[in-house]
Amino acid sequence: MIAVTIDKLCAKHPAFEKYVFERIDAFYGTSTGTNAAIFIIAGLTAGMLCGAYIPDIPRYFSLGAMVAAWVFTSMLAGFLRQWLFIMVPALYLMLPHLLYIIPGSSAAEQASDLQILLSDLSEGVLLQPIRPFAGDNDLYIVSIVMFVCCLAVFLLGLRFRSRAKRSNTYCKRRLEQLRDEE
């Protein structure tokens, strides 16, 4: 249905067809590393802003931007079949729980200064954007839910790619790209 609508709009409006071609070129020009960097930078930025003493509006804006970036990068990685990208949300959302040392525990007494620094950074920056979503729930469970959401959006991107093959405009541009690569 969407493919037919896009094909009709492209047939009627050459400027829209040019725009669609540019988007397809931009999508296929995006590497796994670029998607991973955007995902991580969005999370770190939101973590630093949520941990800072700033008003609520910029804090919520940063969380919204982080969620939008995570959804877009997960969708695009799925569309481009960048299977390695799945490791990025998994590591980003699970690694802080592995590094975190509970203060006052026996592990904290035996930890080196570097381990305590990494624990403080993971708790203070990486886990910070998850706290508003957690509420009274455990951060570990919320991290797993967020990873599952990223995975679901990735799979949705895979589905969009299979649906895009029904569009003449998409197929036309993709064939041109493949010919240019040869």
Give Cα separations from 162 to 116, 155, 167, 170 (angstroms): 47, 11, 10, 11
Asked whether residue 4 carries a pLDDT value surpassing 70, the answer given is yes
| Cβ atoms within 10 Å of 180's Cβ, excluding its own | 7
SS (H, E, C) 107-148: HHHHCCHHHHHHHHHHHHHHCHHHHHHHCCCCHHHHHHHHHH
Asked whether residue 108 carries a pLDDT value surpassing 70, the answer given is no
168 vs 104 pLDDT, higher one: 168
Q: What is the mean pLDDT of residues 151-163?
A: 92
Compute the 3-state secondary structure of the chain and give helix, strand, coil in percent, each to the nearest 5: 85, 0, 15
Q: How far apart are CA 67 and CA 133, in angstroms?
A: 11
pTM of the model: 0.82
Asked whether residue 98 carries a pLDDT value surpassing 80, the answer given is no
In the structure, what pLDDT confidence band is assigned to residue 117 with cuts at 50, 70 and 90?
A: confident
79 vs 170 pLDDT, higher one: 79
Asked whether residue 88 carries a pLDDT value surpassing 70, the answer given is yes
- pLDDT on residue 174: 81
- pLDDT on residue 22: 87
- pLDDT on residue 9: 84
The pLDDT tens digits of the residues spanning 22-42 come to 888 888 888 999 999 999 999
Q: How far apart are CA 93 and CA 81, in angstroms?
A: 21
| Cβ atoms within 10 Å of 127's Cβ, excluding its own | 23
In the structure, what pLDDT confidence band is assigned to residue 103 with cuts at 50, 70 and 90?
A: low
Q: What is the mean pLDDT of residues 67-85?
A: 94
Asked whether residue 151 carries a pLDDT value surpassing 90, the answer given is yes
